[in-house]
């Protein structure tokens, strides 16, 4: 009798404990979700504010109590922004610089990485280590001399000045070399025996196998052109060669005080759209490239 009683007592306790645990777990889950969702809202809010402000009329934007959803959707802000900032020309300039520099950069990166990964020559490791060491130096240090150099070359205000100085990225060479090294050497030797040329082997075997890395490099390079600001402002600030970020900042020099914010936000939205599309469709490659690089753009 007493034995049975203690047993049921024990079971009751167990039930109590487990239900307490369940409540605790539920509360913890709830807190985790609440925290994440609040943070997500904070992260998203600037994008939301940009979009709704970009379609408001100036009068509506200036209301003392802001509207969280626009009363009227004014798409003419976009037309005005496009014209005011001359976004068409800026877009074409940036695409041109981005495509040409990506293409040339890929060629240089592939053949350099191939040499470092597959060919044997004296001083290879020392040279590779020296290249890696330059990655530690902040880019600003190079800019001072490069500014004088491109001036001497007579490259000021041209597309060349926006493309050539940044064609070689030690980091991309490093990334691709690591990728090439994973491809077994036997394949290369077999191809040699068959009399396949290096270029053919590169094109038929190594490039397809390293394609994900090449796509990551392409995206990061294109984003770099889209987001570059400092160098273009220094060396190609004329209208014919201006890039998009620079043009955007120049067109709207005032960002505080009594300025037409809806039009500014429309311009910002136009500039952000391609990046957003790249993000939506190519997120995997960006994340892969980024997690290995630690550099923006």
Partner 1 sequence: MVESKHKWKAWLYLAPAIVLLLIFTVWPIINTIRMSLLENYSTMGFVGGARYEFGIGNFKQVLEYQNFLTCLKNTMLLCVLTVPISTFLALLIAVCLNAIKPLQRFLQTVFFLPYVTNSIAIGMVFAAMFNMVGTAFGTESELVITAGIINNVIEFFGGTAINWINAGSSYWANIAVLVIYTVWNALPFKILILLGGLQSVNKQYYDAAKVDGTRRVRVFTRITVPLLSPMLAYVVITGFIGGFKEYSNIVGIFGDDMGPTGDPGRLNTMVGFIYDALSNYQGRASAAALILFGIIFIVTMINLYVSKKKTHF
* Site residues (CB under 8 A) for partner 1, limited to 237-296: 245, 248-249, 252-258, 261, 264-265, 268, 271-272, 275-276, 278-279, 283, 286-287, 290-291, 294, 296
Handedness of CA 182, 186, 187, 191 (dihedral sign): positive
- 216 part of the interface to partner 1, by CB under 8 A: no
Q: How many residues are recorded in the chain? A: 297
Short-list 188, 14, 211, CA closest to 118: 188
Which distant-in-sequence residues (6+ apart) come within 8 Å of 56 by Cβ? 67, 70, 71, 72, 74, 77, 262
Residue 159 has which token pair? Answer: 């597309």
Nearer to partner 1, 7 or 28 (CB): 28
> Cβ of residue 2: shortest distance to partner 1, in angstroms?
30
Please identify, among the stretches 69-77, 95-103, 113-121, 205-213, the one whose residues bind partner 1 according to the rule CB under 8 A.
Answer: 113-121
Q: How far is the CB of 128 from partner 1 (least distance, A)?
A: 10
Write out the two tokens for 17: 């404990």
Residue with tokens 């940036």: 94
Q: Count residues near partner 1 (CB under 8 A).
A: 93
Nearer of residues 56 and 241 to partner 1, judged by Cβ:
56
Shortest distance in whole angstroms from residue 144 CB to partner 1: 5
Instruction: Please answer whether residues 106 and 217 qualify as being in contact, where contact means their C-beta atoms are separated by less than 8 angstroms.
Output: yes
Residues 167-186 that bind partner 1 (CB under 8 A): 167-168, 170, 173
């Amino acid at each position: 009798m007493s034995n049975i009683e203690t047993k049921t007592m024990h079971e009751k306790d167990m039930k109590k404990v487990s239900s307490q645990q369940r409540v605790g777990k539920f509360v913890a889950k709830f807190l985790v979700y609440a925290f994440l969702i609040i943070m997500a809202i904070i992260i998203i809010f600037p994008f939301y504010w940009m979009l709704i402000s970009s379609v408001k009329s100036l009068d509506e934007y200036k209301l003392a109590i802001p509207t969280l959803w626009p009363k009227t959707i004014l798409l003419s802000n976009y037309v005005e922004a496009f014209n005011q900032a001359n976004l068409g020309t800026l877009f074409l300039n940036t695409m041109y610089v981005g495509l040409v520099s990506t293409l040339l950069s890929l060629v240089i990166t592939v053949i350099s990485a191939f040499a470092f990964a597959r060919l044997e020559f004296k001083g290879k490791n020392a040279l590779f280590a020296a290249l890696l060491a330059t990655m530690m130096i902040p880019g600003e240090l190079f800019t001072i001399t490069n500014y004088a150099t491109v001036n001497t070359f007579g490259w000021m205000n041209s597309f060349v000045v926006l493309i050539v100085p940044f064609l070689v990225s030690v980091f991309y060479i490093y990334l691709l070399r690591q990728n090439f090294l994973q491809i077994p050497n036997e394949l290369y030797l077999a191809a040699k025996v068959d009399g396949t040329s290096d270029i053919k082997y590169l094109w038929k075997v190594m490039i397809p196998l390293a394609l994900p890395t090449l796509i990551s490099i392409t995206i990061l390079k294109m984003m770099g052109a889209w987001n570059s600001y400092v160098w273009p402002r220094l060396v190609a600030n004329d209208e014919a060669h201006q890039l998009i970020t620079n043009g955007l900042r120049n067109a709207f020099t005032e960002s505080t005080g009594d300025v037409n914010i809806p039009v500014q936000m429309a311009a910002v939205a136009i500039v952000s759209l391609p990046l957003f599309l790249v993000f939506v469709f190519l997120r995997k490659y960006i994340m892969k490239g980024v997690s290995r690089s630690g550099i923006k753009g």
